[in-house]
Structure 1
């Protein structure tokens, strides 16, 4: 009963705000009114294809997959969520592998980092895709399952804060250590000493990224997303941040290599991003993004 009263109150408030806003801004009446109506429908479960549990995110999902006229049909987002529910690990592996490989390819293109043949599709692209699918996704799947199981049914503010602390102080260090170890191996490290040196140099840099982004992302997921959408959401955030950091890192390494071999002038082969002689950026362990949570 209390839940129904609260929902009715929210719906009435949204309607009142929409009406008041429409009277003051006639030019935006249709947009605000339509949005408020859609949220009201979703909150009551009357918008086809929605449950009413997350009205705002469900309205956004409806808009992404074709709008009101296609609500309830099998759009891209609905199909993906269905695959997550039916085959969670397989779907996460395919998603993480695709994002990791794409991130490396985009970063190489943005940084003008080419291989000796002048291609942006370097050997790191399939290696990163393999890491995402076979290492990052299964690890993230298990750790998120552990986190959700530990705090299942606990919705108080204290429980949410504890969940964020556990994520940052336990889960993030595990993921970042595995991430840096994998990156060292991909970059060519072959001894325990080389791997350990990579982890020691990069650990706190990557942890700082985690401690900035993780609380914000986890708080957003707690508030707006169903649990089965957490890992894909974290993957998407990591993809955006990782692409930026990877691009900046590649540019810095290319500049350092040009300066090392040719001085400040920095001649390059064919006018592109490849250096003449010496090592390439993949010879050095990347200080990349926080991996999928």
Structure 2
């Protein structure tokens, strides 16, 4: 009985302190001027939860992810072309922003952005569509450890070299290369660095896809992986090219063919590539 009376006294004391609020602020820290009560647990992380819901709509049948996968099944090539073109253009813009590579007007949206969109839509997407389809067809229904290892080796020793060679060739043309010698120099200079990155990331990504992802989700997954890797390589190459151009400019104008008053007759590719021999 004494315990019941103590609780009633405590309730009355707290109510008087708050000022007759009906006991809504009851508790040890509910006095005048005290901190407000913590938010309910359901409110924590609300922004991230709402963002996830907006993106996937709960990953239900009407979600954006389900809609995208349905488009991949209905019209795979066109969906991949739109996706790859958009990601390639965004990749070029982000790489220019990271490397502080501006055009003559001081903007990061250079003429290479729409060119990269064309490359992504009409070169990268069809090539990736054929290569991934071939890889899945060759190893369809084979789930043993040996088959998975062979799939990784086939991807890294056959598919990756073809895709990287096409990528470097396209980058050289976009940068202004017009002769076979210029294109070959770009491919030779960048092939092994790009292959090393592929050999590090591709086995991990492919092993993850084999273990956790259905085949219909491989395309968006590899698109995301390629987007981040391509942005890193592109930004790194731009930084090297800009550093080479600054060194040449600091060495004097005589090295760019303008000291004696003659115009610089080199192509845009030669002026941009500098000492790096690449994009």
Same fold by TM-score greater than 0.5:
yes
Residue of structure 2 in register with 1:258 after alignment = 246
2:191 equivalent among 189, 196, 203 = 203
Residue of structure 2 in register with 1:283 after alignment = 272
Residue of structure 1 in register with 2:234 after alignment = 246
Residue of structure 2 in register with 1:98 after alignment = 86
Instruction: For residue 76 of structure 1, report the CA deviation from its aligned partner.
Output: 1.5
Name the SS of the counterpart of 2:163 in structure 1.
Answer: helix
2:150 equivalent among 159, 162, 166 = 162
Measured in 1, the distance between the counterparts of 2:65 and 2:277 equals: 33
When residues 286 and 229 of structure 1 are mapped into structure 2, their CA distance, relative to the original with a 3 A threshold, is: farther
* 1:128 to 2:116 alignment: yes
Measured in 1, the distance between the counterparts of 2:118 and 2:56 equals: 38
Instruction: For residue 282 of structure 1, report the CA deviation from its aligned partner.
Output: 8.2
* 1:224 to 2:183 alignment: no
Instruction: For residue 155 of structure 1, report the CA deviation from its aligned partner.
Output: 0.4
Number of residues paired by the alignment? 216
1:188 equivalent among 171, 176, 186 = 176
Structure 1: segments with no counterpart, 5+ residues: 1-29, 32-62, 265-277, 289-293
| TM-score between both structures, scaled by the size of structure 1 | 0.67
- Contact 1:187–1:282 (CA under 8 A) maintained in structure 2: no
Rg larger in 1 or in 2? 2
Measured in 2, the distance between the counterparts of 1:229 and 1:82 equals: 11
- Contact 1:180–1:199 (CA under 8 A) maintained in structure 2: yes
Deviation sequence 1:82-124 (CA, Å, 0-9, x none):
1111111111111111011001001111221111111111111
- Displaced runs of 4+ in structure 1, greater than 2 A? 63-73, 278-288
Instruction: For residue 228 of structure 1, report the CA deviation from its aligned partner.
Output: 1.8
Measured in 2, the distance between the counterparts of 1:160 and 1:85 equals: 24
Residue of structure 2 in register with 1:236 after alignment = 224
1:139 equivalent among 119, 127, 132 = 127
* 1:117 to 2:91 alignment: no
When residues 101 and 71 of structure 1 are mapped into structure 2, their CA distance, relative to the original with a 3 A threshold, is: closer
RMSD: 2.8
